[in-house]
Chain A
Amino acid sequence: MFFDSDLLMSALRALTPILLAALGGALCERAGVFNIGLEGMMLMGCFTSVATSWFTGSAWLGVLAAALAAAAYSLILAVGAVTLRGDAVVLGIAMNLLAVGLTSFLLRTVFGVQGTFDDPSLAGLPLVGGFTPLAYLAFVAVAVAALMLSRHVWGLRLRGVGEAPDAAATLGVSPAKYKYAAVLISGVLCGLAGAQLALGNVTLFSENMTAGRGWIAVVAVMLGRAAPVGVLLAALLFGLAEAAGFRLQGVGLPQQATDAAPYVVTLVALFLSTARRRRRTANSPSGATT
């Protein structure tokens, strides 16, 4: 019984935070802002959701606060990269580092503990059919984002801003406005991802608890070529690889090997997708990629 419903459940639980963050990253990518601060924004969401849930007793207020806090935190990237024209990669790395330090510091000052804050009376998100409502919301968000980007005028303009900002500006579309919107939405989504991780997957906060999930999300954005459905498939691949990795330990594979599972999957998927893309490019008469 290697593939069973438990494996699928486990994969979907691993998938949700990554998917939410990656979706935010994809919108930024489409708007022409390379966002690698997903990890830090997610971590801010984790802490805010736990702190708010603890002091108000409501997990939903925690989710709301996480979305707002991460959106506010994402302003660093928006102001820095869009208004001040700074390097988004440098800003993203700085945001990730700052988030680890800031949340550890707040953990000490607000809760007076180090490492982990955990209390049996901390309110977590309710489970509907084994998953939190945020997990379902993630899938709805994929559909909404896909429709917006392909059909709605707002999404089309966003893509225009990302692909040719000067052309968009001549048409009367303000690139800065759309870039700000994309970064702020990615902040909200990362906040939700953090809340899902800290109040859904587990019900606690521990320092650096995102543990690289934001980076996996960045890779999912690249692998899914910043298309919502592509990102969903990439995130699903990671979720399955991780869940399968856990199971492989059960059949006797060493941990060091199962740890590598998500990365091996990434490499294989990258090779396959670039090979396919190159073949398609070679076949098409104009040589243009889509």
Chain B
Amino acid sequence: MLRRSRRTLQLVAATTLMVTAATACNAAAKTDASDSASGGSGKSFTLVTPDAVGQNEFLKLAVTGVKAAAKTHDGTEKVYESTDTASQQQNVQAAVDASPNVIVLVGFEFADLVAQQAKAHPKQQFLMIDACTTKTFTNVTCAVFREHEGVYLAGAEAGLLSKSGKVGAVDVLDTPQFRRYSDPFAAGAKKVAAKTSASTRFVGGQSPFDDSARAKEQANSLLSKGTDQIMAAAAAGNYGVFEAAKAKGAFAYGVDVNQCVSSPGTVVDNVIKKTDVAVEKGVEQVLAGKTGTSVSYGLKEGGISLTGLEAGVDSSKCVIAQHKDVLTKVKALRDQIVSGKLKVDDPAAS
């Protein structure tokens, strides 16, 4: 009996030690981080991401943007990567506690958290990318994108390249925000080839964002009707759409980043969101004191673009690189949109 209780005691002691050690480690890591923040003489910026950056091109660009901003201002940057809802909350709290000059947050996941923190810490400046709080705060600045302008140009490419005169889109859900990826595609195709017919399929189902098998079937249902150009805006389902298009020798268009590399010869072009541009410009805006507003980034501001319109198109593995004539026409359309001569309807505008 005595022996056993002694052993228990030892166990408890060991556990306590370990826990203390772990806490100490944690504390050490935190001090380290705040040291590096105050290390630079200039401004400090903290980026909070909704997911691990890893291979996520969209978030990688945000990191690039924050680094560039830190360099311009001879300051320092920190990146807090979240993995789930709980760590998002912790990271936002940690960022607020460190009180850098600007906290940059990417994604709609942060809308409610920022609204809470902005109210509690009126002196802290927040920059939200690709989303905004529902209520406006003087210390929350937002950068949102006009995806529909890029999708319109992709539609124009599809209209010019389509042999069957039928284009289509595989979209995630039938909501105004997601229709930005399908309706302008049809409009763009009809602009350059009036006789083009267009239709959209929505993935839907229990998990519309990651059901690639369902997205593939939706693409197949478009392909069986003769569609030969498909806008793929189905999140993880995009890979299913590419597979379907490849099997039938049709073409697809990707979103957010260069997806040509995942299916070379099938993906024509991508509507890309340049998060780095939005972060850099947003930081300038906040530091200049123009806070509390929402700025939208489209073709004009360089926030939205096509892979085909960017430098490095020849090494992008995109099909569009072989169609310089199409690119010339699309560039003309882009210039019209930039100058305001041509206006793209926004399905999400109420």
Contact = CB atoms under 8 A, between A and B. Distances in A.
Interface of A: 4, 6, 10, 13-14, 108, 112-116, 118-120, 197, 201-204, 206-209, 211-212, 242-243, 246-247, 249-250, 254-256, 258-259
A146 B52 CA distance: 48
Given A113-B55, A120-B264, A206 B210 contact: yes
Given A120-B263, A201-B213, A204-B239, A212 B206 contact: yes
Contacts of B224: 4, 6
A246 B217 contact: yes
B228 interface: no
A120 B264 CA distance: 9
Given A10-B221, A208-B207, 6 more contacts: A204-B239, A206-B210, A211-B214, A242-B214, A246-B201, A247-B221
B216 A201 contact: yes
Contacts of B207: 208, 211-212
B296 interface: no
A39 B237 CA distance: 19
B210 A202 contact: no
A201 B218 CA distance: 12
Interface residues on B, range: 20 to 34
Most B CB contacts (10 A, CB to CB) among A10, A108, A120, A207 go to A120
Given A116-B236, A120-B262, A249-B201, A206 B212 contact: yes
Considering the complex of A and B, which 8 residue pairs feature the smallest CB-CB distances, nearest first? A255-B202, A212-B206, A211-B211, A6-B224, A255-B174, A201-B213, A259-B204, A206-B236
B174 A14 contact: no
A151 B297 CA distance: 69
A202 B264 contact: no
Contacts of B204: 255-256, 258-259
A207 B236 CA distance: 9
B199 interface: yes
Interface in B8-42: none
B133 to A, nearest CB: 26
A202 B247 CA distance: 11
B324 interface: no
Interface in B37-64: 51-52, 54-56
Contact of A254 (B56, B174, B243): B174
B202 A249 contact: yes
A209 B212 CA distance: 7
Nearest to B247: A127
B98 interface: no
Contacts of A254: 174
Contacts of A208: 207, 210
Contacts of A197: 213
A4 B239 CA distance: 26
B205 interface: yes
Most B CB contacts (10 A, CB to CB) among A4, A13, A209, A254 go to A209
Contacts of B221: 6, 10, 246-247, 249-250
Contacts of B202: 249, 255
A6 B244 CA distance: 13
A6 B247 CA distance: 14
Interface in B58-117: none
12 contacts: A14-B213, A14-B217, A108-B52, A114-B56, A116-B239, A118-B239, A206-B239, A209-B212, A211-B206, A211-B211, A211-B214, A247-B221
B6 interface: no
Given A114-B51, A120-B262, A250-B199, A202 B216 contact: yes
Nearest to A116: B236
A256 to B, nearest CB: 6
B342 to A, nearest CB: 29
B220 interface: yes
A207 B239 CA distance: 13
Contacts of B205: 211-212, 259
Most A CB contacts (10 A, CB to CB) among B51, B218, B239 go to B239
B174 A250 contact: no
B206 A112 contact: no
Contacts of A250: 199, 201, 221, 225
Nearest to B224: A6
A243 B239 contact: no
Given A6-B220, A246-B218, A204 B54 contact: no
